[in-house]
Structure 1
Amino acid sequence: MTTPAPVWTGTCADPFALRVPDGYVMYGTGGPGGDRAFQVLSSPDLVTWTDRGGALERLADEPPQASYWAPEVAHVDGTWVMYYSVGSEQSAHHLRVATSRDPLGPFVDAGVDLSPDLPFAIDPSPFQDRDGTWWLFFATDELSGERPGTVLAVQRLESPTSLAGSPQLLLRATADWQRFEADREIYGARYDWHTLEGPHVVHRAGRYWMFFSAGNFQDDTYGVGLAVADAVTGPWSLVGSGASVLHTGVAGLIGPGHNSVLTDAAGDDHLVFHAYDTTRTRRQPYVVPLGWDANGPRPDWDAA
């Protein structure tokens, strides 16, 4: 198995990439600092990537040290729409939306909190169903059950900047590998906290496939699992028993996770994800060809 190389040597965590008229653009957590959040990279061919600075104009009412996480972008009626979260480190994150006329930005926040009634929400991922309906998948916290922690949910987008109805819980932790931290102090109590995050959905082979990350993004427990359903709202069933798509050790990777799926100009899919460098100080982006069969996706490491 060939060990893939990152497509860029800087930090670009939680990478999301999509095709644009003149090539491809990738967005990720991190960035050049200053007045804009989120790293932006562009490429004509998925091989050579160029640093294009920051994507999002920072919010004036958020403190300078606020954390901006996991952007994903959709192209809706001629406008580029970015979904992201902002908060203080690992608490009080809320979902936000920003727009731009250029995929390279600058994106300007639309002034809307998409999750005002949730104590914590991250990793928004827009998905357009075959009937044209838009949905927003995301992660939020749920304290009930045997494995309390961060779970996966979905809500219908009434417009690019507004949600309809209430969140529908789709998937929660079921296994030890999904533990974020034992005896974690949070919400005024202590929990063996589990985390599912980074949902990303595609429709292939007549079914809906949801990639998700789990474990602790800071260490070797982090990886990518898979669930499948016959409808956007489920029920969703796990595929395999662990981090079946990505895990530490596969192809020599360290802490791989938070993926998206990019379809290129030829109609071929690619798995876009991050993994740590050897010093474990930078999460760098990877792009690996992705094939499909009746059992789901198959990363083609030898073609990476």
Structure 2
Amino acid sequence: MQRVFKTLALAAWMAVGLASYAQTNGGKNPISQPLVSYIYTADPSAHVFNGKIYIYPSHDIDSENVKRDDDGGHFAMRDYHVLSLDKIGGAVKDHGVALDLKDVPWASRQLWAPDVAYKNGTYYLYFPAKDKQDIFRIGVATSKSPTGPFKAEPEPIPGTYSIDPAVFQDTDGQTYLYFGGIWGGQLQRWDANEYHPGGALKKPEEVAYLPRVVRLNKDMKTLAEPVRELQLLDKNGKPFLEKDNDKRFFEGAWLHRYQGKYYFSYSTGDTHNLCYAISDSPYGPFTYQGILLKPVLGWTTHHSIVEVNKKWYLFYHDVQLSGKTHLRNVKVTELRYNPDGTIQTIDAYK
């Protein structure tokens, strides 16, 4: 009976939330529901391992007493959970804490958006965190299981910085790390891979900051080359300016391959679009194509794209459960391509 009451209470709470949600979103309702509702999750990196879908999200926590600012201090995440499901629309299992901040020797705070890759019997969790000097670095932790627990290396990956690591494994066996984020992600503090604490944001007429890409060594724990900028161009072959903030890169990099082409997707941050660009090489240059997801409720937007049983899916987040920008919930919806390889724009509300 207690379970029945809990189920009814949850259903009523969700109904009230949906009504409020629609009211704040011009009468529209979300096309997808949160995958889990008992914890707050965001920044989903989804992968298929051994026929099962695994999701590696950020784990949002309540940080009401933390000052809200452009540095994102109120995104005060302290651990990672792993979610899994056998099929899209199936039951979601929470495998518990896979890595805790206290078990990362070099990190001081803010475990932001992670990603995972698999190679030779080992799963590699890539994650950003601030070091003891409050500088974002990218670390790596390993496990023999996709659900962890993961053991962090004692130091961050040498040569890495900023946030939002995304790992892409190509068909030739090479592995690439994409990363970067401005504002709180500190990318503006880095020039030619050197740290400048006084680094400033770009002026409107200046060329916008670019994401970073680097090839990993076979050990998956070190860089095989210097980090380089990923060229992101408009359809006329010109770089975006900072004033093009509905198209330029802000954070949330992801790379996938479709019909022999490389698709780089990303968030525009302060204009809340998820956009994408296409290239013939994982290094780029990438040519802008358009918006793949229109803005969702909540300040941030972040995603991953994965193929499951010959269909493609977009994993993303919004704030349906809380209405608060730092307490988000992960969702999924189908992603469709046009015959010419472009992606159909998704509106998360109808």
- Please report how far the alpha carbon of residue 205 of structure 1 lies from its aligned counterpart in structure 2 after TM superposition: 2.5
**Residue equivalent to 2:11:** none
Letter in 2 for 1:80: Y
- Please report how far the alpha carbon of residue 31 of structure 1 lies from its aligned counterpart in structure 2 after TM superposition: 5.8
- Please report how far the alpha carbon of residue 152 of structure 1 lies from its aligned counterpart in structure 2 after TM superposition: 0.4
Off by >4 Å, runs of 4+ in structure 1: 142-150, 253-256, 299-302
| Residues 288, 262 of structure 1: alpha-carbon distance in 2 compared, 3 angstrom cutoff | same
Give the TM-score of the pair, scaled to structure 1: 0.78
**Residue equivalent to 2:264:** 210
Q: How does 1:137-152 map to 2 (within 5 A)?
A: 137-139=178-180, 140-141=187-188, 142=191, 146-147=205-206, 151-152=210-211
CA contact (8 A) 1:209 1:226 kept: yes
5+ residue gaps, structure 2, are: 1-27, 63-76, 181-186, 192-198, 233-239
In structure 1, what is the Cα distance between the partners aligned to 2:313 and 2:251?
20
2:344 equivalent among 293, 298, 301:
298
| Residues 13, 276 of structure 1: alpha-carbon distance in 2 compared, 3 angstrom cutoff | same
Letter in 2 for 1:215: G
- Please report how far the alpha carbon of residue 296 of structure 1 lies from its aligned counterpart in structure 2 after TM superposition: 1.8
| Residues 149, 96 of structure 1: alpha-carbon distance in 2 compared, 3 angstrom cutoff | farther
| Residues 46, 201 of structure 1: alpha-carbon distance in 2 compared, 3 angstrom cutoff | same
Q: Which is richer in helix?
A: 2
**Residue equivalent to 2:253:** 199
CA contact (8 A) 2:317 2:330 kept: yes
In structure 1, what is the Cα distance between the partners aligned to 2:147 and 2:78?
12
- Aligned residues, how many? 273
Deviations 1:80-106 (A, max 9, x none): 1111111169x5100111110111111
5+ residue gaps, structure 1, are: 180-193
Amino-acid identity (%): 25
| Residues 168, 62 of structure 1: alpha-carbon distance in 2 compared, 3 angstrom cutoff | closer
In structure 1, what is the Cα distance between the partners aligned to 2:267 and 2:346?
19
Q: Is 1:29 aligned to 2:73, yes or no?
A: no
Q: Which is richer in strand?
A: 1
**Residue equivalent to 1:263:** 307
Give the TM-score of the pair, scaled to structure 2: 0.69
In structure 1, what is the Cα distance between the partners aligned to 2:97 and 2:46?
15
**Residue equivalent to 2:287:** 237
Deviations 1:34-69 (A, max 9, x none): x97112212122322122222114313433xx0011
CA contact (8 A) 2:179 2:253 kept: yes
Letter in 2 for 1:247: K
| Residues 51, 285 of structure 1: alpha-carbon distance in 2 compared, 3 angstrom cutoff | same
Q: How does 1:153-302 map to 2 (within 5 A)?
A: 153-159=212-218, 160-171=220-231, 174=241, 176=243, 178=245, 196-216=250-270, 221-240=271-290, 244-248=291-295, 253-255=297-299, 257-264=301-308, 266-277=309-320, 279-281=323-325, 282-293=327-338, 294-298=340-344
